[in-house]
């Protein structure tokens, strides 16, 4: 096989021994210039495609992880699971101040929350208010139409759009649809209700947090930063 110009790896597929052993056995067998050229060209291609092959392999691994993870979840979710999933998303991404608002750029998250408001609290998407956060080069009217079609929020319910100031820095993440803030009118009591659900879940760890915060109370005595211009 070596005299035919096969590489050690190619021979290993047929003769299951270590490459070091093959090297010892075959080091005295000369290769023709044609065989050397073939093996060299093949090695160069492997080096060129190495990173790409690793990328493809990793993508397959991730896809397998996603598929296995999906099999661990039973859909549709139970009423409690669905309620708490939305409450957790709001806890992470929603406003903690007055009202009931959630801001994000991910259409998946926004549509889920719009439907969650409807299923859990009976809030019709026609009553929701929305505001966009865009760059000047984006088409405000078209972006409004996108979110309106996706979420069922009338375009007339969109308030004034905030345009980000020009920036010379290169943006790695393209927010093609901008960032949208969804507001539920008169939603303050609903916000406190969903925070009550979250608090119930966290009751088990609350004593530990309270005890630790008391031990580190001095961290709250740092003076506020002053913006000097």
10 Å Cβ neighbour count for 81? 13
Decide: pTM greater than 0.75: no
pLDDT of residue 229: 53
Taking the C-alpha atoms of residue 89 and residue 87, their distance in angstroms, rounded to an integer, is: 5
Task: Give me 48's structure tokens.
Answer: 């060129």
List pLDDT tens digits, range 146-180. Answer: 999 999 999 999 999 999 887 766 555 578 899 99
List pLDDT tens digits, range 110-141. Answer: 999 999 999 999 999 999 999 999 998 899 99
pLDDT of residue 79: 95
Taking the C-alpha atoms of residue 130 and residue 40, their distance in angstroms, rounded to an integer, is: 61
Place of tokens 């050397």: 36
47 has a pLDDT exceeding 70: no
Q: Where are the domains of the chain?
A: 8-69, 79-212
Closest Cα to residue 145, out of 177, 123, 183, 112? 177
Place of tokens 């019709």: 124
pLDDT of residue 203: 95
pLDDT of residue 133: 95
Taking the C-alpha atoms of residue 108 and residue 151, their distance in angstroms, rounded to an integer, is: 10
């Amino acid at each position: 096989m070596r005299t035919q110009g096969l590489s050690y790896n190619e021979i290993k597929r047929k003769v299951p021994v270590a490459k070091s052993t093959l090297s010892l056995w075959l080091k005295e067998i000369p290769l023709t210039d044609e065989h050397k050229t073939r093996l060299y060209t093949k090695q160069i291609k492997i080096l060129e495609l190495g990173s790409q092959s690793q990328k493809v392999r990793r993508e397959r691994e991730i896809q397998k992880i996603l598929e296995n993870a999906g099999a661990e979840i039973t859909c549709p979710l139970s009423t409690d699971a669905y309620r708490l999933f939305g409450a957790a998303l709001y806890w992470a991404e929603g406003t903690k101040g007055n009202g009931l608002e959630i801001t994000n750029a991910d259409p998946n998250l926004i549509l889920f929350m719009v439907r969650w408001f409807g299923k859990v609290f009976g809030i019709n998407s026609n009553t929701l208010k929305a505001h966009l956060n865009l760059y000047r080069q984006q088409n405000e009217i078209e972006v409004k139409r996108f979110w309106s079609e996706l979420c069922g929020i009338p375009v007339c319910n969109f308030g004034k759009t905030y345009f980000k100031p020009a920036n010379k820095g290169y943006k790695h993440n393209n927010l093609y649809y901008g960032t949208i803030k969804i507001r539920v009118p008169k939603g303050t009591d609903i916000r406190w209700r969903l925070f009550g659900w979250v608090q119930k879940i966290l009751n088990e760890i609350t004593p530990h947090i309270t005890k630790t915060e008391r031990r580190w109370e001095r961290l709250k005595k740092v003076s506020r930063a002053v913006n000097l211009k």
